[in-house]
Amino acid sequence: MARREVVSSATEHLILVDEQDQEIGSCTKRECHAGEGLLHRAFSIFTFNAANELLLQQRGHNKPLWPGYWSNTCCSHPRRGESMDQAVSRRLHQELGFECPLDFLYKFTYQAQYEAVGSEHEYCWVYHGHHDGPVDPNMAEIESYRFISIAALEDELETQPERFTPWFKLEWAHIQDNYLDRIMAGS
């Protein structure tokens, strides 16, 4: 049975960073995402199964930014005093109920506006991993999930790009150009 554990709130503090990813303070999640957004540290995880299908999640309809959009396996923010390795493992387990080894790929900054509601402005660390066991979704965080083949994902991104979060599209394009062959080879 799917869990409904609330694991984040608009009042939790996120780590503010400069353009070199150096910590410069903290603000609430609400403040970080207001207006054009404040640059803060984040992460994205891409998890594949043995068939080289990517685990996608549909963001919960209660999310203030991009509710109901499809995105990568998991994305969130580290907490103050928490290493990035701790953060990615914690959040993957909180949202999808499993743990797996995760490998760092790259980091980048982006800014994306969601209607008049607010923005993401993140210094995002991108990870990948492999998982073939059960998935136990936290329905307080995500609406749905699915595994998708690379070919089917490419088709959906071509025909229905508006269904996906902006960071996912940016990250996927970079992974495809620079890392996908290595990931698919299992190294």
Q: Is 124 a catalytic residue?
A: no
Q: Which residues contact 180 (CB under 8 A, 6 or more apart)?
A: 150
Q: Which two tokens stand for residue 73?
A: 């396996």
Choosing from 32, 74, 75, 100, the catalytic residue is 75
Catalytic annotation, pick one of 31, 95, 120, 122: 122
Verify whether residue 31 is a known catalytic residue. Answer: no
Beta strands, E only, the chain: 13-17, 23-28, 40-48, 54-59, 70-71, 74-76, 102-114, 118-130, 142-148
Going 170 to 173 to 174 to 175, the CA torsion angle's sign is positive
* CA 53 to chain CA centroid, nearest Å: 17
Catalytic positions: 75, 122
